[in-house]
Amino acid sequence: MMQTVTRTLFAAAMLAPWPALAAPMLTVTTTDASGLQTVLEFSSEDLLSMQPIEVQTDNDFVEGETVFTGPLLRDLFGEISLEPDDEIVVTALNDYSTVIPASEALEYDVIVAVLMDGEEMSVRDKGPFWVIYPMSDHPELQDPGYNDRLIWQLSDVELTKD
Answer whether residue 25 shows pLDDT above 60.
yes
For the chain, give percent helix, strand, coil, nearest 5. 30, 35, 35
> How does residue 79 score in pLDDT terms, banded at 50, 70 and 90?
confident
CB contact at 8 A, 134 and 73: no
Residue 30 bridge partners (DSSP):
38, 159
**pLDDT score of 31:** 86
CA distance 129 to 115: 8
Mean pLDDT of 25-53: 92
Tell me the pLDDT tens digit for each residue of 105-121: 999 999 999 999 999 99
As a whole number, the mean pLDDT across the chain is 86
Backbone φ and ψ of 146, nearest 5°: -75, -20
Q: How far is CA 158 from CA 24, 41, 51, 59, 82, in A?
A: 17, 12, 21, 24, 12
> How does residue 103 score in pLDDT terms, banded at 50, 70 and 90?
very high
Q: Which range is least confidently modeled, 23-37, 46-60, 86-100?
A: 23-37
Q: Residue 156: in which H helix or E strand, if any?
A: strand 154-160
pTM for the model stands at 0.84
Architecture of domain 24-160 in CATH?
Answer: Alpha-Beta Complex (3.90)
Answer whether residue 10 shows pLDDT above 50.
no
The β-bridge relationship of strands 25-31 and 154-160 is parallel
Residue 88 bridge partners (DSSP):
100, 159
**pLDDT score of 43:** 95
> How does residue 6 score in pLDDT terms, banded at 50, 70 and 90?
very low
